[in-house]
Amino acid sequence: MKGYLSHDFPVEVPAAVIWDVYRGLQLGKLLNQLLRDVIGMVEVVYGDGGVGTILKFTFPPGTPGPSYMKEVFTKIDDEQRLKEGEIFEGGLKDVGFKVYRQNLQIIEKDAQSSIIRSRVEYEIDDELQELASLATTKPMETLNEAVGKYLEQNWDSSNNKSTVEYEIDDKLQELASLATTKPMETLNEADCQSLEVSAKPVWNAAFFGIVWTLWLGRNECTFNKKQCNADLLFDLAVCRIGFWCKSRWSDSLFSLSDFIRNPQLCRVITGISSRHLGWVKPVLGTLKFNAVVSGRGGYGVAGSGEVPAAVIWDVYRGLQLGKLFNQLLRDVIATVEVVYGDGGVGTILKFTFPPGTPGPSYMNEVFTRIDDEQRLKEGEIFEGGLKDVEFKVYRQSLQIIEKDAQSSIIRSTVEYEIDDELQELASLATTQPMETLNEAVGKYLKQNWDSSNNQ
């Protein structure tokens, strides 16, 4: 059984202002600020607010059903102002729902008002259809009402009133009709409306962006014999300034495409929610500890694997590798379970370790990159495993490197970051599990792949 629910909530705030809040992580911060006792607490488990970000919602004590739920962002569409997420653990997933998706869309009514549309899509087995009544948009309605009221109180449309004062000689008074507020009205109605805005930071960034672009262009002409192209330099400068502004003032209410089309109309927020990433001088003796551990392990990994790279990549790219893990290495990893996804970027796997394994009993990994051209797959542990023993970052990658038409190398890499005072734990970082996996899968593929099929 499949179904959906939808609800519209009107807000007297421009769509661009609301979308800037709803698009990333600021919505979760407002939820913690405004609705902690009603909806609960939101925690960022993984990500920076883009697609693949994972949030954990912990419900208030006494809430019926599961005590938490985890959601992954699956789609963010700036053009449609649409954000989608799917519950993959806890919540209604734990009471029998096969699929439970939530999305929020900001729809512009006019220059000063919008509609926040909440939608829930779900799928449940027919024999459990009586549980379908649990599906609801009510939490999102409560959120939209609270955030809408907050934004209406903190955003004053009167900031957008435009005034022009002028003085002209009497003999030229026929020219007075040229005085107009139209350019400011156009600015106020643009998508780059903001709460407290200023163009000065953009112009400051423009100076450095133009100089840097000219410098790089001069180097290309001098050292690489490139032809100078003024139009290309202009476009590069505009793109560079736009990237810098969006990075430095990420709360600003314009997209990169807005900036490229009309940079003169764009302003940045300087008074309310702009963020400044400052540098603080570390104490004497502080050392930033970043490390990469690389290893080549497994059957054929060091050069004796007589299986083509394309065959190995076909196994390693998606979910087939996890199935082989369950088949070949249950004594090393008890089970590999697909928590969410179809094997692409954003897929989440849960590894459960055999009883008696030291340390945490499981770890959760999210696929962060799949590059078919380089045959490279990267994942980051965001829960359990070495993350629970104080590693700040723990990433794993596997790359299939072609030696010749009939043999390959499987390269395993671990990247980690840990606080300096815990650097003795760095010895726990290892490629050994991946080496064991590569050896077992390499042997399996060699036995089951007949090179004569390709001759």
If you average pLDDT over residues 301-327, what whole number do you get?
A: 79
Q: Which structural domain, as residue segments, surrounds residue 248?
A: 179-269
Strands 290-296 and 82-90: unpaired
The answer to whether residues 355 and 412 belong to one domain is yes
CA distance 303 to 209: 47
Number of H helices, E strands in the chain: 10, 16
In a domain, residue 264? The reply is yes
Domain boundary among the residues 213, 236, 269 is at 269
Residue 419 CA to residue 289 CA, distance in Å, equals: 7
Residue 197 lies in a domain: yes
Do 141 and 265 lie in one domain? The reply is no
Of 111, 139, 154, which residue sits at a domain end?
154
CA angle 133, 77, 38 (to 5 degrees): 40
Nearest to 436 by CA among 297, 293, 262, 239: 297
User: In 3-state terms, what secondary structure has residue 38?
Assistant: coil
For residue 110, what are the β-bridge partners?
113
**Residue 334 scores a pLDDT above 70:** yes
* 3-class secondary-structure state, position 307: coil
Q: Are residues 77 and 196 in the same domain?
A: no
Q: Do 339 and 249 share a domain, yes or no? A: no
Q: Are residues 107 and 61 in the same domain?
A: yes
Number of domains in the chain: 3
> In this structure, is residue 300 part of a structural domain?
yes
Residue 362 and residue 433 share a domain: yes
Residues 429, 431, 432, CA angle at the centre, nearest 5°? Answer: 105
Q: What is the per-residue pLDDT across 401-415, written as a single tens digit (0 to 9) for each? A: 988 888 888 999 999
Is the domain of 350 the same as that of 441? yes
Nearest to 386 by CA among 426, 329, 340: 426
Phi, psi of 290 (to 5 degrees): -115, 140
Residues 253 and 224 both lie in one domain: yes
Q: Which of 73-87, 143-157, 228-242, 275-289 has the lowest mean pLDDT?
A: 275-289
Q: Are residues 335 and 399 in the same domain?
A: yes
Do 310 and 261 fall into the same domain? no
Task: Report H helices in 190-342.
Answer: 200-223, 230-248, 256-261, 309-316, 320-328
In a domain, 278, yes or no: no
pLDDT digits (tens, 9 = 90+) for 231-273: 888 888 888 888 887 777 665 556 666 677 767 666 665 544 3
Do 352 and 203 belong together in one domain? no
Catalytic center residues:
83
Q: 86 falls in which pLDDT band (50, 70, 90)?
A: very high
pLDDT value of position 270: 55
Of 178 and 455, more confident:
178
Domain membership flag for residue 284: no
CATH code of the domain containing 386: 3.30.530.20
Q: What is the average pLDDT score of the chain?
A: 80
Is residue 309 assigned to a domain?
Answer: yes
Asked if residue 98 lies in contact with residue 124, where contact means CB atoms within 8 angstroms, the answer is: yes
Q: What are phi and psi of 384, to 5 degrees?
A: 75, -170
The residue among 112, 118, 84 whose CA lies nearest residue 99 is 84
Work out whether strand 2-11 and strand 113-124 pair parallel, antiparallel, or are unpaired.
antiparallel
Buried b (16+ CB within 10 A) or exposed e, 89-114: bbbbbeeebeebbbbbbbebeebbbb
Residue whose token pair is 């209406």: 152
pTM over 0.85: no
pLDDT tens digits, one per residue of 37-78: 888 899 999 888 888 999 999 999 888 889 999 999 999 999
pLDDT-wise least confident of 189-203, 299-313, 333-347? 189-203
SS (H, E, C) the chain: CEEEEEEEEEECCCHHHHHHHHCCCHHHHHHHHHCCCCCCEEEEEECCCCCCCEEEEECCCCCCCCCEEEEEEEEEECCCCEEEEEEEEEHHHHHCEEEEEEEEEEEEEECCEEEEEEEEEEEECHHHHHHHHHCCCHHHHHHHHHHHHHHHHHCCHHHHCCCCCCCCCHHHHHHHHHCCCHHHHHHHHCCCCCCCEECHHHHHHHHHHHHHHHHHHHHHHHHCCCCCCHHHHHHHHHHHHHHHHHHHCCCCCCCHHHHHHCHHHCCEECCCCCCCCCCCCCCCCCCCCEEEEEEECCCCCCCCCCCCHHHHHHHHCCCHHHHHHHHHCCCCCCEEEEEECCCCCCCEEEEECCCCCCCCCEEEEEEEEEECCCCEEEEEEEEEHHHHHCEEEEEEEEEEEEEECCEEEEEEEEEEEECHHHHHHHHHCCCHHHHHHHHHHHHHHHHHCCHHHHC
- Dihedral angle over CA of 119, 124, 129, 130, nearest 10: -70
Residues 9 and 148 in one domain: yes
Encoded amino acid at 292, one letter: V
Q: Rounded to 5 degrees, what angle do the CA atoms 74, 75, 78 make?
A: 155
The mean pLDDT value for 425-449 works out to 85
Displacement of CA 39 from its chain's centroid (Å): 23
277 inside domain:
no
Domain boundary among 205, 236, 269: 269
Domain presence at residue 168: no
Enumerate the β-bridge partners of residue 393. Answer: 417
